[in-house]
Structure 1
């Protein structure tokens, strides 16, 4: 049982009152575990209240009131009785003001004496024992402070509040007074030893030892609690924590990791160091959550990054190329994570990566080019795609899809797609080969049988297309090949064709695909037209006429939308074909008066049955071009014809006739005399009655390589003409809106406007500016200025 408290003191006696209070505070401060009974607690509370409101004390302390300046004049005692409630209240509060100061001063002296004892006891402890002692005393002291603060709550509400309101410094509520005394009388004397012990504990943990983490957390919390705002005692700051805990902690952290990283790098590989650095960064991040204050997180991270990453960044970057060469994706990802956390840490890596990808792309194309000119477009496009796919995956997985690495990848791909060994002669080779590969996919017989597989391949084509600079070249070749697929009804599916055009439209806009879409419309209109023609024939033709007519299908194609040219040779079609063509023309002109039809014989095709062949159970069917059909139908009248007979009957020029005869000879449909002779004026051709083939349907309509080359050359000429028109229209459009411009500004603006279609050359732009001047669209003024002529 605690010793009995003395009798409640006389309320007017300061010495007796403090003696009574001191005994009670001792019980709270020193014997908190035993507690204070409620009766004693209330007696202590009452003693503070009674003393502060004592009337006799008011009279006995008038002189002191006057000494303080007479802010609250106190009337004589007799006046107190008769002055009324208002005067009485002023007097009592004024006295409480004075008496509170004495109690406050005595309490402060008591706390200083108490902490002097605690300080002396602390000298017998060191390291972890000191931390345990500090935490126990801190817990005991702050808990007791809450009780004492409540005992003095009347003092807090009146005297302390009045002093603070008047701007008095070094006056706090009783609880805060405890913290101030702890800081001034105890903390200032022990904080260095305490921090040394804390830092030793943290170093042990960093070295792999198990420590009592709660001790450090308690120390951190006590340092934080000691932060007081000098201008507002009710507010707390982190100044004490930052000065006495955070700064030494950060300094010790820097020193520890400088020593460790220096030694580790000297003894281990760069990859092992990166693993170590990443682990250490994770540990320090976890340490904040375990027992440090969140305020330290940013500074701690910056310090660790500075020591572990920035200080060794050159070493890490030197390893980057080695990791790329060996495709060490996991280690590349680790390097990216580390260097991305420091300022400009990744910049040198991006340029290294870009050069690496460019070299890989050039090497892949070099391998394809080494096979000569006979390589398939698929081989070339696959080589480009494999490089892109490999490094796109690397960017996504190792570099987190970071936009700047994506830009580096794009720059590298653009470079090796447009400027490689195969494109050395002309930069238009890539778009041409891409268009040819697209054509092979969209033609019937494509190996990508599954619709989903084909769609994926089209997506990959668009990946390469994105990097192609000469997009107008792709458009020209693609439109020509699309025209052939549509005319020959050889598309793998309408859905696939539509999907590809949609992708091109999304990438380059409506204008890029406008003609392609109009081509599809013409095909649909032609289907409807053929249906109408069939109905018309049923009405106007009798049975005999129908038997003489060839079963035909017609496609009427708009001149402005289809990239098709008239035939390069005269052609006298067989009478069977002529009769049918004239019949269709009559029907068409009845529907569309004033239009003109040009027959594109070079694109027409058909089938003929070989009823003459011996020993054939089922007659062979020859799939032929119209030119081949015209040649073969001549043999209905005779078995043997000379070269001149055939040329005279068909009126085909040798450049067209000779390759078609060569195909018929190679397939052994015709036999040349003399044997093995090539088509020329001295050659005679005989129908082969013993023709044999494994297939019943024999395709003879094969495009000749020389025709392909001529067609490609014609396409390139068209591209040059189109570019000239595009440049001139851009120049006129710009000048029309601007009226006057400097020559250099005009050139730059033209480049900006047309670069999405092709990269224009400055000399070409200048040449077209001169051409427009000659046509009086624009004129040159003084000072290298150009003006638009309205």
Structure 2
């Protein structure tokens, strides 16, 4: 190559570079002028001639790369690196994604004047720079988008990181934690109502599952990794596995009731009750142990019959009746109007005693039902409050807190209600407190595991962290779900040290190293 050619190349490059920098700096330059400069580069470097002269040979590739491509890519990378940092500091992820697409489209338009090899490298530089360098802000806003069900932006974000395995893995973890937390919050919100109606648990979790499934399908195109995140849920705590077992329990119970009816028919037997049973796996349902109840004669044959059937079907399983959480209906036959009373198992056992006795003292009710006082007294108080039973002495005013073992009770023959179907199955205060504590204990346990998962994720990324910095980051990442006590976080950190996920620095007790 002659010195004259070299000089021409440098002049063309410097002129084009100046124009490009003006565009990057938002300075005035006519589009036609810039395109003319691109055309010169295309003619000279790609086709091998300049102006109207006919090319004798093509310019070697190394000349193109040395005088134009190398510096062009360096300047472009520098420009977009500054632009993305500045832009994200003042704009949302949604605005960033829209601008990112515009950047790529603009570069693709310019690339028609350059070699295909340049276009590929430039698009890779822009994509990697705009995506990889800005992942932390994306992670931070990703969970907000999930909470707001912003599927449109989530879909754009998914397209942005689709070819980035590391980013996909991180977003998968965030989704798992999000689903787990939403599930715990939903269960906690219905824990009181679900005490007497376990189906509420199933329907609540099913609702969470379906809403999250819609997000996976619409925002992540049903991507297998994210579907697995939904199934796995909550950082490996098998939340969805529990849900599936709970939901399966409902389906299995339906089949088992049908099999029970066939079993009775084959034995030429039938029950006098409209009777059905829900079978729950004790490992999946957060119910505390149930106290024993001596069933009324009207109920016992049906329960004994089903127990026999179940034992023959599953001879290695133990069937425990949760009478406090069962429910049924009774019809009044002693009033002018007939009422259907919706009652709990405990209420039914007490009310059926009045078929045998016109009046009962509280002590007799306990002897007949074998309920503990902690269970019996609140149930009786609830029946008195509903006015379905009353004290035998009508002149005596007895408050809820003054019920005595020698008090005499009887049915209220003057009972009346505007409704013919009356729900008496209202959660009893003592039972609700006990069961709610059980649910809270389960939630606290799961939250500790969520905290541990967040600590591991932070430490895996940072490798080393001070105690205060780590705690602050955990609080920040969990702020949208719940706010754990600092003492709980420290307990979780100690647990991870014990399990050798982390270790303390030899000479700095407030510094942790990731080692798993």
Normalised TM-score (structure 1): 0.38
Q: SS of the residue aligned with 1:530?
A: helix
Shift of 1:694: 2.1
* C-alpha contact 2:340 2:421 (8 A) present in aligned 1: yes
1:767–1:472 distance in 2 versus 1, CA, 3 Å:
farther
Contact 1:742 1:784 in 2 (8 A): no
More helix by share: 1
User: 1:607 maps to which residue?
Assistant: 329
User: What's the CA shift string for 1:325-382, capped at 9, x where partnerless?
Assistant: xxxxxxxxxxxxxx999574335425xx8xxxxxxxxxxxxxxxxxxxxxxxxxxxxx
How far apart are the structure 2 equivalents of 1:647 and 1:406? Answer: 63
Residue of structure 1 equivalent to 2:399 = 678
Query: Does the residue aligned with 1:230 lie in a helix, a strand or coil?
Result: helix
Match of 1:518 among 245, 254, 266: 245
1:136 aligns with none
Closer/same/farther in 2, CA of residues 575 and 398 from structure 1, 3 Å limit? farther
SS, match of residue 231 in structure 1? helix
The separation in 1 between residues aligned to 2:261 and 2:440, in whole angstroms, is 40
For 1:713, what is the secondary structure of its paired residue?
Answer: helix
State the Cα distance separating 1:534 from its structure 2 match: 0.6
Residues 405 and 659 (structure 1), Cα distance of their counterparts in 2 relative to 1, 3 Å cut = farther
- Aligned residue among 229, 252, 262 for 1:535: 262
Deviations 1:175-203 (A, max 9, x none): xxxxxxxxxxxxxxxxxxxxxxxxxxxxx
SS at match of 2:342: strand
- For residue 725 of structure 1, report the CA deviation from its aligned partner: 8.4
Tell me, yes or no, if the aligned pair for 2:196 and 2:325 is still in contact at 8 Å.
no
DSSP 3-state at the match of 1:652: coil
Instruction: Give the conservation status (yes or no) of the 8 Å contact 1:604–1:625.
Output: yes
Query: Aligned pair in 2 of structure 1 residues 488, 622: CA closer, same or farther (>3 Å)?
Result: farther
Give the corresponding residue for 1:642.
361
In 1: Cα distance, 2:432 partner to 2:176 partner: 23
Q: Partner residue of 1:587? A: 309
Retained in 2: the 8 A contact 1:671–1:685? Answer: yes
Contact 1:522 1:557 in 2 (8 A): yes
Paired position in structure 2 for 1:142: none
CA contact (8 A) 2:330 2:342 kept: yes
Q: Does 1:660 align with 2:346?
A: no
- Is this contact kept in 2: 1:410–1:467, CA < 8 A? no
Paired residue for 2:349, among 608, 611, 630?
A: 630
Counterpart residue number, 1:230: 4
Q: Following the alignment from structure 1 to structure 2, what is the Cα–Cα distance between the partners of residues 605 and 643?
A: 22
Residues 640 and 703 of structure 1, relative CA distance in 2, 3 Å threshold: same
In structure 2, what is the Cα distance between the partners aligned to 1:593 and 1:240? 88
The question of whether the paired residues in 2 share the 8 Å contact of 1:623 and 1:698 is answered with yes
CA contact under 8 A between 1:501 and 1:513: conserved in structure 2? no
* 1:576-608 deviation per Cα after TM superposition (whole angstroms, max 9, x unaligned): 222211111112222222321111112111111
- Correspondence for 1:566 among 289, 314, 323: 289
- Give 3-state SS (helix, strand or coil) of 2:410's partner: strand
Residue pair 2:196, 2:427 contacting (<8 A) in 1 also: no
Aligned partner (choices 275, 288, 294) of residue 35 of structure 2:
294
* Contact in 2 for aligned 1:395/1:406 (Cα 8 Å): no
For the 8 Å contact 1:642–1:684, the answer to whether it is kept is yes
Check the 8 A contact 2:190/2:200 in 1, yes or no: no
Matched, 1:694 2:418: yes
Structure 2 partner of 1:349: 90
Return closer, same or farther for 1:643/1:232 CA change in 2, 3 Å cut-off.
Answer: closer
Do 1:605 and 1:625's aligned partners in 2 also have CA atoms closer than 8 Å? yes
Secondary structure at the counterpart of residue 695 of structure 1: coil
* Rounded Cα–Cα distance in structure 1 between residues aligned with 2:240 and 2:180: 17
What do the CA deviations read for 1:716-742 (whole angstroms, capped 9, x no partner)?
A: 3334456778999999xxxxxxxxx99
Q: Please, which moves more after superposition, 526-535 or 483-492?
A: 483-492
Distance of 1:490 and 1:476 partners within structure 2: 7
- Report matched runs for 1:453-602 at 5 Å: 473-474=184-185, 477=188, 487-488=198-199, 496=207, 499-500=210-211, 502=213, 506=227, 507=229, 509-510=231-232, 511-542=238-269, 546=270, 549-567=272-290, 569-602=291-324
CA distance in structure 1 between the aligned counterparts of 2:293 and 2:415, rounded to whole angstroms: 27
Q: How many residue pairs were aligned?
A: 374
Which of 1 and 2 has greater Rg? 1
Would you say 1:620 and 2:339 are equivalent positions? yes
Q: Secondary structure at the match of 1:608?
A: strand
**What is the alpha-carbon root mean square deviation over aligned residues?**
5.9
> SS state of the match for residue 349, structure 1?
coil
1:763 aligns with 2:490: yes
Hey, what does 1:157 align to over in structure 2? none
Q: Can you list the C-alpha shifts for 1:280-305, whole angstroms capped at 9, x where unaligned?
A: x69x46x323xx343679xxxxxxxx
Note the residue ranges of structure 2 that are not aligned, 5 or more in a row: 39-79, 103-129, 148-173, 216-225, 233-237, 456-462, 510-516
Secondary structure (helix, strand or coil) at the match of 2:90 reads: helix
**In 2, Cα distance between the equivalents of 1:702 and 1:536?**
34
Using the alignment, how far apart are the partners of 1:622 and 1:479 within structure 2? 24
Q: 1:493 to 1:696 in 2, by over 3 A?
A: farther
Structure 1 residues 589 and 342: alpha-carbon distance in aligned structure 2, compared to 1, 3 A threshold? closer
Per-residue deviation, 1:572: 1.6
Gaps spanning 5+ residues in structure 1: where?
1-164, 168-228, 255-280, 298-338, 354-391, 418-462, 732-740, 774-778, 786-790
In the aligned structure 2, how far is the partner of 1:405 from the partner of 1:465? 18
Distance 1:348 1:743 in 2: 25
From the superposition, tell whether residues 702 and 407 of structure 1 become closer, same or farther in structure 2 (CA, over 3 Å).
farther
Q: Contact 2:451–2:489 (CA<8 Å) still a contact in 1?
A: no
C-alpha distance in 1 between matches for 2:389 and 2:230: 50
Note if contact 1:486-1:523 (Cα within 8 Å) is conserved in structure 2: no
Contact 2:331-2:339 within 8 A present in 1 as well: yes
Alpha carbons of structure 1 residues 704 and 465: separation in structure 2 relative to 1, 3 Å: farther
How far did residue 783 of structure 1 move? 8.7
Q: Is the 8 Å Cα contact of residues 293 and 369 (structure 2) preserved in structure 1?
A: yes
Q: 1:500 to 1:572 in 2, by over 3 A?
A: farther
Query: For the Cα contact (< 8 Å) 1:522–1:558, is it kept in 2?
Result: yes
Using the TM superposition, give the Cα deviation of residue 527 of structure 1 relative to its aligned residue in structure 2, in angstroms. Answer: 1.4
